[in-house]
Chains A and B, each alone.
Chain A
Amino acid sequence: MEYFRLILLSSLDDFRRNKLRTFLTSLGIMIGVSSVILLIALGLGLKKYIKLQFEGLGVNIAIVMPGNIFNNGNIQPGRNVGGIKFDQKDVQSIKTVAGIKNLAPTYIKTVAVKTGGNSQIGDLYATNEEIFPMRNLELAKGSYYSKSDVAKSSKKVVLGPKIAEKLFTDIDNAEGKSIKIENLNFKVVGVLKEKGGGGFGGPDFDSFIYVPYKAVLSLNPDKKFSVINFQVTEESEMDKIKKAVEEKLLRRYEKDDFSIVEQEEIQNTVTMIFSVLNSVLIAIGGISLIVGGIGIMNIMYVSIIERYQEIGIRRALGATKNNILLLFLSEAVLLSLTGGVLGLLLSYLTVLIIRIYFPAYLDVIAVLVALTTSSLIGIIFGVLPAKNAASLSPVEAIRYE
């Protein structure tokens, strides 16, 4: 223990004598560590952000889609090209499955929307009133359309805040106004609160134009649905209910004709894509760590040349090659670790600032990563110079001036 204390003191003393050099060398590691840690923090924040976004869109939701979008257990959005569309008969048979809380068959179509002189292209989301509680869609203004509105094919429309703003500039102006969807006249009964999201593979509920599906049958002459959303009461029953829904549909369709995707699966896929991206960025950030390591190696060689005589003296007094190796290796590690700790502090402060705009955060793993990578960098880039020092001939080292 005393031996290690003396090694530590020797290293610290060397740092004290070469303050600027020590600082500049550990700066390299500091930059490397903080860039890696920041990227980790951003990745963690992104994961959390995606989770929040998806949870905002309601929980325990599954979507019945046409086509087989699964391949070896992975979702392949590009394969969403099934030929079938669902109809009222499918809706009725799914409705008989126990444990479904909300069921929203939906016809989706891109439409032209007009109000006064303003004309926009929007996404029509023709469904029933159950979509609102299912997707946690809250009202900013007015009301939803009701179950009887759906039954009576009332020409009522609820607008997502983004499309409402496009059409009326201010969402306060929208309620009670008439709009024309393709050739049909609708009355705006409500505007939804902003939900955010839509940028991470989930649907953008802020941009949708919600109407009772029966009100737009003239735009949908086959009376078909693009997707069927359903929400289960108990999360634990999801698998069982999905299986039951699948069995119902298999009576009419082939296995490859449709897919039942849990929202969580989409979330996982999106998260995975971003995790891979994040890992690539961290690896790129890691390059700066290597550059920092080379800086350490360089300065260790300089330090060893300066201390040739000391190495010789220590060897003459009985130090083994390993004693010398350890002396310089611990110095390299200490130098690198100092950079690691400084980098951690820097990234922590940066995260505090980023948090104002984005939910980035650091956890204990980030701290461990910073400390272990910087120690490892010290060992990897310190071992060659230290070996070099250890292998010096004592006689030559002691004579060196």
Chain B
Amino acid sequence: MSFIFLIKLFRMIELINISKIYQLDGGNFTALDKINLRIKEGELIAITGPSGCGKSTLMHIIGLLDTPTIGKVIINGRNIQDLTDNEISALRNVYAGFVFQQFNLINKLNVLENILLPTQYSRQKKTFIAKDRALDLMDRFGIKEKAQSYPNKLSGGQQQRVAITRALINKPKIILADEPTGNLDSKTGTKILDILIELNKKDNLTILIVTHDKEIALRFPRIIQMFDGKIVKA
């Protein structure tokens, strides 16, 4: 029991020899080329590299939004290839929280409804009262009074805090943030990064961000550098 637990602890996510190949009219395009990667629980990681190097694709595969063309993705000891699409959706729902550059909030839902959206799709029995948890988190990130507001009435920084709250609502194991500061001014961006780093320190949450900004990457203890679909430095 404790042995399996230890394996899980040290190998929360394991990518074995994965490639992502897109078939285009003019031939194949290899977005990811034989990547091997292990991520342990509680890590604070930045994936960095020039645009088009495959860092977002890698993040999508880690977050179960996409599947590799070749290779194995193992999450908590389970091979994703063995799961149905429904099982992958259910796993994504509780295991990963996404934060995007464009915030990706649903404009017709208010802030609280946006934050509660992932709980709609939960199939597991919740150990918390969703609305109470949402309000607590909103309080923590200073957006509690915006609960009934609509996303397009909020500043970029506020929208990204809503997105982070939404990512946290189902108590995920990992937060995946794709250029989370890309649409924010540097001051606001720094604050958002502070929040993510604090979540790692205080809550021991695994945080993985994708950024092309080396300065931002330097704040992260583990930096995965990519170039042309390959990891050049892990």
Chain A residues within 8 Å of B, Cβ to Cβ? 2-3, 6, 10, 13-14, 17, 309-310, 312-323, 393-395, 398
Contact = CB atoms under 8 A, between A and B. Distances in A.
Classify chain B's interface size: 20 to 34
B29 interface: no
Contact of B121 (A10, A17, A319): A319
Contacts of B170: 318
B106 A318 contact: no
Given A313-B106, A315-B65, A322-B86, A6 B120 contact: yes
Pick from A314, A317, A322, A323 the residue with the most CB of B within 10 Å: A317
A323 B94 CA distance: 16
A317 B166 contact: yes
B108 A317 contact: no
A395 B90 contact: no
Interface of B: 60, 63, 65-66, 85-86, 89-90, 92-94, 98, 100, 104-106, 108, 117-118, 120-122, 166, 170
Contacts of B120: 2-3, 6, 319
Contacts, number: 61
A329 B121 CA distance: 17
Pick from A10, A320, A394 the residue with the most CB of B within 10 Å: A320
A321 B86 contact: yes
B104 A320 contact: no
B113 to A, nearest CB: 8
B121 to A, nearest CB: 4
A216 B66 CA distance: 99
Contact of B60 (A321, A323, A395): A395
A319 B98 CA distance: 14
11 contacts: A310-B106, A312-B104, A313-B104, A313-B106, A314-B117, A316-B63, A317-B98, A317-B121, A318-B90, A319-B89, A394-B65
Contact of A318 (B60, B92, B100, B105): B92
B194 to A, nearest CB: 24
A344 to B, nearest CB: 29
B85 A321 contact: yes
Contacts of A3: 120
Contacts of A320: 85-86, 89-90, 121
A2 B116 CA distance: 12
A316 B65 contact: yes
A319 B105 CA distance: 15
Contacts of B60: 395
Given A315-B65, A318-B170, A393-B66, 12 more contacts: A10-B108, A309-B104, A313-B104, A313-B105, A313-B106, A314-B121, A317-B93, A317-B121, A319-B121, A320-B89, A320-B121, A398-B100
B104 A318 contact: no
Pick from A6, A17, A316, A320 the residue with the most CB of B within 10 Å: A316
Nearest to A319: B121
Given A315-B65, A316-B92, A13 B104 contact: no
A317 B100 contact: no
Contacts of B93: 317-318
Contacts of B104: 309, 312-313, 316, 398
Contacts of A312: 104
B108 A318 contact: no
Contacts of A6: 120
